[in-house]
Structure 1
């Protein structure tokens, strides 16, 4: 099937409605089919105060769309025989050598029992027992109290992992699915194995080969005047994925180009630290769609985009937030995999591989129709709108 250009024009009207409603300050959408650009649109503002337009070269915070890139970097090391996915985390980070997990029904952090060391595979697929500070539960609450967020200025990646190891796991590895900082920890494993910083690994193994010159952990000097402002509809914490907006300004300022922690980060977060442009991210997504494009083999790319869970995410009893639906959707190495679009309730193809970020960014690869779609905006939290599901429906509605 090919994309009908007249039907794709609906995307522009949809995007304008979000801008007119002051839900998004600005956004862009890029769609490729068979590697050829078939649609691009950018509208609204990247900064309300200066009225600077949201353009094709606007630089955004990728947040969790960093995770698939970190996962790809680890798989290059797997291909080279430096490690294997069932290796215990403690082989690389000794601080995780004697973990304990909360017992089922625990009401205090000291109600724990010894458990197995999580494997790299469990970290990659969010089954390690680690969590996020914004999730419900005892461990997330303690993470929030200790500011264990792997935010840009939250110490170094090595320090964050050492502090994380002081806490119990939220559950025994392998028994549940819970969105977590596991891929931040994978970033540290990559550093230990290579003897390089995560930034150096990304540059050499992914960014340079793919021509991703606008992506990195730091907003470069030549990007500062193109860096978008981050907004939130929430009156409180913009990173509270479980909160709901109240009356008032729908676009409250969170972080702008001046003084942003992304100008001089100390923590190279493999789970959420990258900034970049829409064309750069499309290069990464297209490399995956094309079978690794030499970064990894075609077989390894296909392995990454398969479901690595025994069923869908919902079957593993998650109580956490996720960037995707949980019913009818599995999880691969670095992203979600559609198993049954009918059960998920979102139009799509079996095998769609995707993920999103805290600031409502989103990408997906459709292997059935050879599509790559990337959407950029800067509104946190991503749970504030149904934009991702709507965009998938719009694109599917143009397949004729």
Structure 2
């Protein structure tokens, strides 16, 4: 699996000098200045890898050189994988997008919506309509994240410790149903635990815990052997360190250690975080992207139908709205201008509004520690980048990677 050297860029219409400028840019702008410990970049066209570069080390200013073996925390790049799992269940008739979420998790039948007040004195009302499975896919469920720091509801999430590692996905989802929604389903786009609830539904309808479902139905068949919710002992030395930059002080500190020094990834967690729990490598995630680019199949393994994949990368926001139109969240993993949302990731709807080259229909998403991917079906282009710095909004690395990548196209 990509153990050979990258293909000749000329053969896939890419300029080798401009490709070489991509890692050089990140080295000069981010690594040499001490902003990042490393940067891994991969670019393929037509399924052929034309650029695969690993620059920097596993620790900021020290450590071992990173490489194809390096394991990264991909956080919200877990969401597209969970969404694929849910669509596999859709293809088998085990769920529908128009079903009420309460059909699978009955506690959601009584969910209420924030109306007024602060976290200690909340007034609620009934939602305008029930929460649908589609709302979970598109982050229009009214479920948020506790780290948003912008609304009384996310303060309640923090108080209730939603997302704590010692409870299961289904238990967390049932607790979520007892808390108020931030808005009525379908009304607004809020980044949050929606995909976690979707993952719980996958467990319920499949009869399998999510990690086992992934291994048997997605990561195993696709040969993604380094993609898991934890890192086994024989691989733990390949997990690099993760850092966090304080927006107010500008100080960058260690958030989680490398290898056995990690506090979160050395054993299987109780919470199989469907929205952000996986670790992976660039080569593993490229196989997932390549499966989607090729219409749901890779190396003879059929994961989804081509029509299902085509359906997933259309804009499913109500009335063709964009994330900017509907978005109330102060945080998102992808820029919101000219971007809608499909089933599990963002979808480019207007490249002019995005203010950089690209193709409409491009499907993408990223992770909290500054990982990112995009799939451009028109150009048959896949781009993946990874480092380990939170939050992902610290530097504009994603649009920079894309503008450099599109500049490398010769034909």
TM-score (norm 2): 0.91
Cα gap change, 1:52 to 1:317, in 2 (>3 Å): closer
Cα gap change, 1:345 to 1:202, in 2 (>3 Å): same
Cα gap change, 1:20 to 1:49, in 2 (>3 Å): closer
Cross-structure match for 1:102: 114
- In structure 2, distance between residues paired with 1:261 and 1:370: 36
Question: Residues 319-374 of structure 1, C-alpha deviation per residue, up to 9 Å, x if partnerless?
Answer: 33111111210000010001112102243211110000000000000111100111
Cross-structure match for 1:42: 54
- In structure 1, distance between residues paired with 2:159 and 2:393: 23
Cross-structure match for 1:131: 144
Please report how far the alpha carbon of residue 12 of structure 1 lies from its aligned counterpart in structure 2 after TM superposition: 1.8
Aligned residues: 386
Equivalent residue of 1:373, what SS? strand
Please report how far the alpha carbon of residue 39 of structure 1 lies from its aligned counterpart in structure 2 after TM superposition: 0.5
User: Is 1:209 aligned to 2:221, yes or no?
Assistant: yes
Cross-structure match for 1:58: 70
Please report how far the alpha carbon of residue 13 of structure 1 lies from its aligned counterpart in structure 2 after TM superposition: 1.2
Equivalent residue of 1:44, what SS? strand
Please report how far the alpha carbon of residue 317 of structure 1 lies from its aligned counterpart in structure 2 after TM superposition: 4.1
Segments of structure 1 that go 5 or more residues without pairing to the other structure are 235-243
Segments of structure 2 that go 5 or more residues without pairing to the other structure are 1-11
Cross-structure match for 1:297: 305
Does the 8 A contact of 2:34 with 2:60 survive in 1? no
Equivalent residue of 2:285, what SS? helix
- In structure 2, distance between residues paired with 1:353 and 1:245: 33
Which of 107, 111, 135 matches 1:122? 135
- In structure 2, distance between residues paired with 1:8 and 1:220: 35
Alignment of 1:148-163 (within 5 A): 148=162, 150=163, 153-163=165-175
Question: Residues 271-312 of structure 1, C-alpha deviation per residue, up to 9 Å, x if partnerless?
Answer: 001011110000001100111111000000010011111221
Of residues 155-164 and 106-115 in structure 1, the stretch that sits farther from structure 2 once superposed is: 106-115
Please report how far the alpha carbon of residue 165 of structure 1 lies from its aligned counterpart in structure 2 after TM superposition: 1.5
- In structure 2, distance between residues paired with 1:11 and 1:59: 21
- In structure 1, distance between residues paired with 2:233 and 2:26: 30
Cross-structure match for 2:42: 30
Of residues 111-120 and 74-83 in structure 1, the stretch that sits farther from structure 2 once superposed is: 111-120
Cross-structure match for 2:9: none
Of residues 153-162 and 13-22 in structure 1, the stretch that sits farther from structure 2 once superposed is: 153-162
Does the 8 A contact of 2:191 with 2:329 survive in 1? no
Cross-structure match for 1:260: 263
Cross-structure match for 1:77: 89
Cross-structure match for 1:240: none
Greater than 3 Å deviation, 4+ residue runs: 105-109
Equivalent residue of 2:235, what SS? helix
- In structure 1, distance between residues paired with 2:243 and 2:406: 29
Question: Residues 357-395 of structure 1, C-alpha deviation per residue, up to 9 Å, x if partnerless?
Answer: 000000000111100111111101101110001000000
Alignment of 1:312-331 (within 5 A): 312-331=322-341
Please report how far the alpha carbon of residue 117 of structure 1 lies from its aligned counterpart in structure 2 after TM superposition: 2.5
Which of 64, 68, 72 matches 2:80? 68
Which of 157, 179, 192 matches 1:180? 192
Alignment of 1:163-202 (within 5 A): 163-202=175-214
- In structure 2, distance between residues paired with 1:23 and 1:369: 32
- In structure 1, distance between residues paired with 2:179 and 2:208: 27
TM-score (norm 1): 0.93
Please report how far the alpha carbon of residue 154 of structure 1 lies from its aligned counterpart in structure 2 after TM superposition: 4.1
Which of 246, 249, 270 matches 1:246? 249
